[in-house]
Structure 1
Amino acid sequence: MPLATTRRTRLVDQVIGQLKDAIAQGDWPIGTRIPPESALSERLGVGRNTVREAVRALAHGGLLDVRQGDGTYVRATSEVSGAVRRICGTELREVLQVRRGLEVEGARLAALARNEADLTRLTELMDARDRAQRERDWPAFVRADAEFHRTVVHSGHNELLAELYRGITEAVTASVAATSRDHLVEQVETGHQDLLAAIANRDPDRAAAEAGGLLDQLLDAAAGPLKEE
């Protein structure tokens, strides 16, 4: 009996791993309904009870959202992101506060550790962001702005901080979408040139101040729920 339990637990863990990989690799993007239990059971070659247990575990971890009578949807790409969504709920201010904590230190480290490839990528994203804003192409703006901030943090070359930030990718993108949709970006200083200049000039104090200032302005203007797209 203990041996059978061990085998079953290992099988469930394998299914959990395969489903997590599919989510992380983008096979099922955020908001997508995953295949039903019967299809997953056939595809993975395991029983439906095993699939059900794996789905239940991922829902508990915040990656999946089980909607009775409708199906199961992808909610987040990692446990960290799922936890942030549970903790922050749908409040825009809470997401911006979490972002501020990570991005200020990320900008400071970026000014100390960035390389030329980082600067090139940041400049490309800045150009794409500004172009999208001028053209009022908000979906493109959201993508470029969210990726710019992720790249700033990544440029600090602190793997733990970068991993933590990757964990809130969906929340960051949703907050950018909310502020652009509500035109908060037009009410506050939206130019990120000073932040990029501080990173390029290896000025950690100024970089941290610029990153914090940008988020503070959004926090001052933001109120209400973070509506998911």
Structure 2
Amino acid sequence: MPLATTRRTGLVDQVIEQMRSAIATAEWKVGERIPTEPELVTALGVGRNTVREAVRALAHAGLLEVRQGDGTFVRATSEFSGALRRLVGSELREVLQVRRILEVEGARLAAVNRTEEELRELTEVLSAREKSMEARDYTVGVDKDAEFHGAVMRCSHNTLLTELYQGLTEVVRASVATTVREAPHKANVDHRGLLRAITERDPDRAAAEAAGFLDELLAELADSDA
């Protein structure tokens, strides 16, 4: 890592904050295993009980997941995101439904409020996404897909909407990864229509484009359950 050596007062709280910071800054990425207990004890200069209490607290908050015999893994970047992940669990339909609610309005507002600088960012991220998906580098592609949708939400210039969506980042990434894993032919969904609508400041078309591919996935799920 390494973590800074803690002071001798409020050790558990200090360890929690340092671990939280490592997660928030992506030093410890979602899905990755964090350092082992002995490594944390050495890095922090605290006892095992202090480390265990901190891990327990962050696991309870939804940021970490302790897997018996396998280690401790980063589950979410914030308590809000962790709570959302517990709420929707692994049910893809629920994730897609929540995404649709937020992304449709986000796209509509983005078409009205985006700046030229934000438009350039959207174009660059979408280009990187398409190249990764076409090369079947799905790990990078999924990250770029989530980055693109997050950038669209920022273009809305609605702080609350953006923060709500940010809390869903890990859930969105997981839903995209699940879609890619279960239906590789859906990996490179064409988002150029959405980008064109935002570029041309057409809110209704942007909303329709945002809803389109999610509605298609939801319809496929309904058919598979029929």
Calculate the TM-score normalised by the size of structure 2: 0.84
Partner of 2:3: none
CA shift at 1:133, angstroms? 3.6
Identical-residue share of aligned pairs (%):
61
The 5 Å alignment of 1:75-154 reads: 75-154=75-154
| Cα 1:216–1:161 shift into 2, 3 Å | same
Partner of 2:210: 211
CA shift at 1:185, angstroms? 5.0
Q: Any unmatched runs of 5+ in structure 2?
A: 1-7
| Cα 1:137–1:46 shift into 2, 3 Å | closer
CA shift at 1:65, angstroms? 0.8
Tell me if 1:28 matches 2:52: no
Deviates more, 1:50-59 or 1:122-131: 122-131
Partner of 1:195: 194
Partner Cα separation in structure 1 for residue 218 and residue 205 of structure 2: 20
The 5 Å alignment of 1:177-196 reads: 177-183=177-183, 185-186=185-186, 190-196=189-195
| Cα 1:126–1:31 shift into 2, 3 Å | closer
| 1:27-65 Cα distance to aligned partner (Å, 9 max, x none) | 222222222333323322333322222111110111111
Tell me if 1:73 matches 2:73: yes
Partner Cα separation in structure 2 for residue 217 and residue 151 of structure 1: 22
CA shift at 1:139, angstroms? 2.8
Contact 1:179 1:185 in 2 (8 A): no
Contact 1:65 1:73 in 2 (8 A): yes
CA shift at 1:22, angstroms? 0.5
* Partner-residue secondary structure (3-state), 2:66: strand
* Partner-residue secondary structure (3-state), 2:76: coil
Partner Cα separation in structure 2 for residue 215 and residue 83 of structure 1: 23
Partner Cα separation in structure 2 for residue 222 and residue 170 of structure 1: 21
The 5 Å alignment of 1:154-193 reads: 154-183=154-183, 185-186=185-186, 190-193=189-192
| Cα 1:69–1:126 shift into 2, 3 Å | closer
CA shift at 1:184, angstroms? 6.2
Contact 2:179 2:186 in 1 (8 A): no
Deviates more, 1:52-61 or 1:122-131: 122-131
| Cα 1:214–1:166 shift into 2, 3 Å | same
Partner Cα separation in structure 1 for residue 27 and residue 38 of structure 2: 18
Of structures 1 and 2, the one with the larger relative CO (CA 8 A, separation 6+) is: 1
Amino acid in structure 2 at the alignment position of 1:89 = G
- Number of equivalent positions: 215
Tell me if 1:221 matches 2:220: yes
Amino acid in structure 1 at the alignment position of 2:124 = E
Partner Cα separation in structure 1 for residue 129 and residue 68 of structure 2: 39
Q: Any unmatched runs of 5+ in structure 1?
A: 1-6, 224-229
CA shift at 1:121, angstroms? 1.3
| Cα 1:85–1:121 shift into 2, 3 Å | same
**Displacement over 4 Å in runs of 4+:** none
Amino acid in structure 1 at the alignment position of 2:67 = R
